[in-house]
Chain A
Amino acid sequence: MTAHGSAPEPPIADTSTAQQREADAGTPVVDTANAWLDDGVNRCARCGSTEIQLRVSTGHLVCLFCRHEWTEAHIEPLVAGEGSLRDLTGTVIASGATDLVADDGMLTMKCSGCGAEVVVNTAEATSSRCHWCRHLLTVNEQVPNGAVPDAVLPFSVTRDQAVEHIKLFAQKRRTFAHRRFVKEFTPGNVVGVYLPYMVVDSNASGDVHGVGEVETRQYTRGTGDNKRTVYDADVHRVERHVDLTVDDLTLESSTERAHMNAFVNTNNVINTILPFDTKNAVQWNASYLVGYTSERRDADVAALVPELEDQLLSIVRSQVQSSVKTYDRGVRWEGERLEVHGTRWVSMYLPVWLYSYYHDEGGTPMVHYIAVNGRTGETMGSVPVSQWRLVTAALVTGTVLESIVIAMLGLW
């Protein structure tokens, strides 16, 4: 753990829980619970205040009372250890990524400041203020409903920077934007959200086979108007094998966000702002979320395996592409095989600035997002279009082109 000033006690891994889960499920579980924190009042190590939140400019937690700053430990060494990814076998799951248990998400915490009982709906927040003594109570123990992940990557892009990114993105798309969007555009309504992802390390092998062609000759046949170009080619059966490791592949672990269909939602724009520098993610501390909203995970590892395998197959195909450049007439891949030797799953909250705009056109509602990566500032979005403006621009262009052609052909 790195710290400014006196740091809190370093986390001591409580392996008993992990070992118990491992024994129960037969799957190795890495316990990532932040042992020095518990549910309820968590105080600044220097002054005892509970007024703690993220300072975006440094990425540290700061005590709002005495300005003491510190940060939690990076999650990577805790889950990865010293071993190489090439040695990864089986399925290793961090304790915050284990299977979810359906519950109502309501958690009752006893305030250690005054003894009052405070109820937190973990589906919506991981902190709450005691209504009697004003202490801030935080949820840090890994409740099995997806509200508490293994790690969090703190925001480093400030709200003002995000607003500028969003403003610039929308300004570039003003001319053909829907007039109501232009009129109602309020970039100040941007919200900082921690979205749930599963970050996966993999050790895998892939095989692909297909047919490739190499051009051996190009010549013309026929005469006059019947002249045409024809080709001779050698046909090869192409087989490729590659062993690879993939570090920190990032998958949406919210079922709603993972559903990407550009005809009915704009989730793909949030997907586009990936990747994040997940190596800098730190152990969970709910204080990082103070002032931000979050969405909890609702997908288990098993539900995400098909998407992982699909992406690994795509990576295999991408990796072998450079080895078939000699096939200048292309390759038709016909079969592919994936063997996953090992995977390691870590549940993580990643920071996104979101501007959302509800738009209903012709009875088809859609929420348009402009999303800013809370670490890199990469921005992507969807702006509702003014159909009549687009059609007019297309018709004008088509008419001009057609007029030129007609003039060239001498039809006038």
Chain B
Amino acid sequence: MNAALLAAYAVEVHAESGTPWVLLLAGPAGAVAVYWTLFRYYRNTDKSHSFERETLIEAMPVTGQDPKIDTVRGTERREVRGNNVSEHRQRVQRLP
């Protein structure tokens, strides 16, 4: 059973019984976190040159426009769907 299914099951049980069974996931989650953190500290598989910050860049003031196009009411989403504002290296559709 993957972690998401386990979490969903625990939340459901929690809702029915009132007991915070979701806390039972702390053990497996902690184990995975420790493994992954240590692995990355040793292997540094996620590291690369931060050329966005460490290169000499001279930019003119950013220009643009922000027309309002819609309103969202009562959504449970905490952020815009597909938020990639900080994912500079994630390419999106290339315009001609």
Contacts and interface: CB of A to CB of B under 8 A. Distances in A.
Contact of B49 (A239, A272, A401): A272
Contact of B47 (A239, A380, A403): A380
Interface in A368-401: 380-385, 390-391, 393-395, 397-399, 401
Contact of A232 (B35, B66, B71): B71
Contacts of B53: 318
B47 A319 contact: no
A322 B92 CA distance: 19
Nearest to B45: A262
Contact of A401 (B27, B56, B73, B88): B27
Interface residues of A, number: 93
A236 interface: yes
Contact of A405 (B26, B82, B95): B26
A48 B49 CA distance: 43
Given A207-B95, A385-B42, A212 B84 contact: no
Nearest to B30: A401
Contacts of A393: 34-35, 38
A405 B21 CA distance: 9
Nearest to B20: A409
Interface in A168-208: 173, 176-177, 207-208
B26 to A, nearest CB: 5
Interface size class of B (residues with CB under 8 A): 35 or more
A402 B74 contact: no
Contacts of B71: 216, 232-235
Q: Which of A330, A391, A399 has the most chain B CB within a 10 Å cutoff? A: A330
A53 B60 CA distance: 44
B96 A238 contact: no
Interface in B37-62: 38-39, 41-49, 51-60, 62
B69 A315 contact: no
B87 to A, nearest CB: 8
B72 interface: yes
A317 to B, nearest CB: 4
A367 to B, nearest CB: 13
Interface stretch (A67-75, A242-250, A285-293): A242-250
B94 A330 contact: no
Centre residue among A213, A228, A243, A271 by max chain B CB count within 10 A = A213
B8 interface: no
Interface stretch (A111-119, A130-138, A306-314, A344-352): A306-314
Contacts of A314: 51-52, 88-89
A213 B69 CA distance: 10
A332 interface: yes
Contact of B64 (A235, A238, A271, A408): A238
A331 B46 CA distance: 24
Q: Which of A263, A402, A404 has the most chain B CB atoms inside 10 A of its CB?
A: A402
A40 B38 CA distance: 52
A105 B56 CA distance: 35
- Looking at A216, A318, A383, which has the most chain B CB atoms within 10 Å of its CB? A318
Given A229-B76, A249-B55, A337-B94, A331 B43 contact: no
Contacts of A45: none
Contacts of B96: 337
Interface string A206-233: 0110111100100001000100111111
Given A235-B68, A314-B51, A173 B41 contact: yes
A83 to B, nearest CB: 14
Contacts of B93: 334-336
A269 interface: yes
A274 interface: yes
A315 B65 contact: no
B15 interface: yes
A376 B23 CA distance: 46
Given A246-B56, A332-B83, A236 B66 contact: yes
Given A314-B51, A390-B35, A330 B83 contact: yes
Nearest to A334: B92
Q: Which of B44, B71, B74 has the most CB of A within 10 A?
A: B44
A110 interface: no
Contacts of B35: 390-391, 393-394
Residue of A233, A319, A383, A394 most packed against chain B (CB within 10 A):
A394
A268 B27 contact: no
Contacts of B55: 246-250, 275, 315
User: A-B pairs with the 4 shortest C-beta distances?
Assistant: A402-B27, A398-B31, A330-B83, A262-B45
